Chains A and B, each alone.
Chain A
């Protein structure tokens, strides 16, 4: 029991790291290229430990992210819940895929996330007129193997499931 709780703590810690990464300032050139770290970490844990990390986690993380970003409350909660739900539908298949193929699915999921954000931006009156907002999807797909290997090492070390 104590072990299980410790595992949850470690998972929570990685989410703090992902929130931190999502807040790091970047130079203007790279602003659009930031991978959606929280989403990457969330999908990994849904795949790895579906009995621990689920929709509630996604919702809570989304709210924290909304607070940190200062945008519309509930937007990230909505999009991350949706992504987590899709990940729960897909995780058995995704575990079998090689990493690049997983990356492609991640890119699609992030693209969906970005699209929701873009629509909401339009609704609140601020929108860009370029397709740059889809760039994080590409970069999330590219960064996925890195995130996967890092978290996999961590999960193996602490024997998390």
Chain B
């Protein structure tokens, strides 16, 4: 009946108010967002379905691959393995030496971080948000805030977890920020995403800072979210504008944000309690 004389205005108002209520709730209540991650289960099949063509293509290309390219790949991997093995040997010696020196300095020794291998199953289609979906969720022990890495460096961090999947915000998202330091000079700063899929920004760097194109920026470990020492970006452009009090610095992420299908989710280091922090500053 209600559709005979045009649409129902009462129903319209009701639904609009309901939607606004949901928006307000979402923006203000963390509990609500937590509950939402469970409701997300109903959409999970859709996300698997979307990923299927890519997975199928992967499988097909695994099957129909020529012998010569397999041999070539095998050779390459063998030389890689040799090279990496040699580097591991060196690494072990260096780690031991590092630990000794740190003991001399009376510093806490660094803990190796545990990682989980996750697979990418989806990309947020919304161009405002640089997010990817992985196939590990709260059932696999993933929690909000875990950093995500690939072989090149830091990719981002987990921002929401459903039982079977989790959502990783990439470092290029305009909401993302990572505390970094320069390998060459030790200069510390915070690197910000700017919504551009292949560049990052350093804000508020004084014009007298020693920073050059090609400098590697690694995580500084400050803030306690990202473990120390993983590469984040390489400085690509430094603009010194005399009219501004800060440098304009553009950096390119070292992780292959748009190509990696496998990523590593790092188990978070146990958060320092306030008393431990004061202990650390005293001693």
Interface residues of A (CB under 8 A from B): 16, 19-20, 22-26, 28, 31-32, 34, 50-51, 54-56, 58-59, 62-64, 67-75, 77-78, 81-82, 85, 88-89, 117, 120-121, 123-128, 132-133
Best-buried of A23, A28, A132 by chain B (most CB within 10 Å): A23
Please pick, from A68, A81, A117, A128, the residue contacting B19 in the complex, using a CB distance under 8 A: A81
Taken together as a complex, chains A and B put the C-alpha atoms of A104 and B231 apart, in Å, by 49
Q: Among the listed stretches B45-53, B58-66, B205-213, B270-278, which one makes contact with chain A, having 4 or more residues with CB under 8 Å of it?
A: B45-53
7 sampled A-B residue pairs with Cβ under 8 A: A55-B8, A64-B42, A70-B167, A77-B22, A78-B19, A81-B19, A88-B3
B1-54 residues with Cβ-Cβ distance < 8 A to A are 3, 6-8, 11-12, 15-16, 18-23, 25-27, 32, 36, 39-40, 42-43, 46-47, 49-50, 54
Instruction: Answer whether residue B123 sits at the interface, using C-beta atoms and an 8 A cutoff.
Output: yes
Give every chain B residue within 8 A of A121 (Cβ-Cβ). Answer: 128
Give every chain B residue within 8 A of A58 (Cβ-Cβ). Answer: 15
Taken together as a complex, chains A and B put the C-alpha atoms of A75 and B123 apart, in Å, by 19
Q: Given A22-B125, A23-B46, A117-B128, 17 other A-B contacts at CB below 8 A?
A: A24-B50, A25-B50, A25-B125, A31-B125, A58-B15, A62-B19, A67-B36, A70-B131, A74-B22, A74-B26, A77-B22, A78-B16, A78-B19, A89-B6, A89-B7, A121-B128, A126-B195
Interface string of B122-151 (1 = CB under 8 A from A): 111111110100000000000000000000
B63-96 residues with Cβ-Cβ distance < 8 A to A are none
Give every chain A residue within 8 A of B32 (Cβ-Cβ). Answer: 73
Which residue on chain B has the smallest CB distance to residue A78? B19
Please pick, from B21, B42, B43, B54, the residue contacting A74 in the complex, using a CB distance under 8 A: B21
Instruction: Verify B50–A73 contact, CB threshold 8 A.
Output: no
Please pick, from B123, B128, B197, the residue contacting A127 in the complex, using a CB distance under 8 A: B128
Which residue on chain A has the smallest CB distance to residue B175? A126
Instruction: Verify B23–A85 contact, CB threshold 8 A.
Output: no
Please pick, from A34, A75, A125, the residue contacting B125 in the complex, using a CB distance under 8 A: A34
A73-B25, A128-B128 given; A55·B47 CB < 8 A: no
Which residue on chain B has the smallest CB distance to residue A73? B26
State how many angstroms separate the Cβ of B141 from the closest Cβ of chain A.
21
State how many angstroms separate the Cβ of A34 from the closest Cβ of chain B.
6
State how many angstroms separate the Cβ of A116 from the closest Cβ of chain B.
10
Instruction: Answer whether residue B220 sits at the interface, using C-beta atoms and an 8 A cutoff.
Output: no
Taken together as a complex, chains A and B put the C-alpha atoms of A56 and B15 apart, in Å, by 8
Instruction: Verify B43–A77 contact, CB threshold 8 A.
Output: no
Give every chain B residue within 8 A of A63 (Cβ-Cβ). Answer: 22
Give every chain B residue within 8 A of A64 (Cβ-Cβ). Answer: 42-43
Best-buried of A26, A31, A123 by chain B (most CB within 10 Å): A31
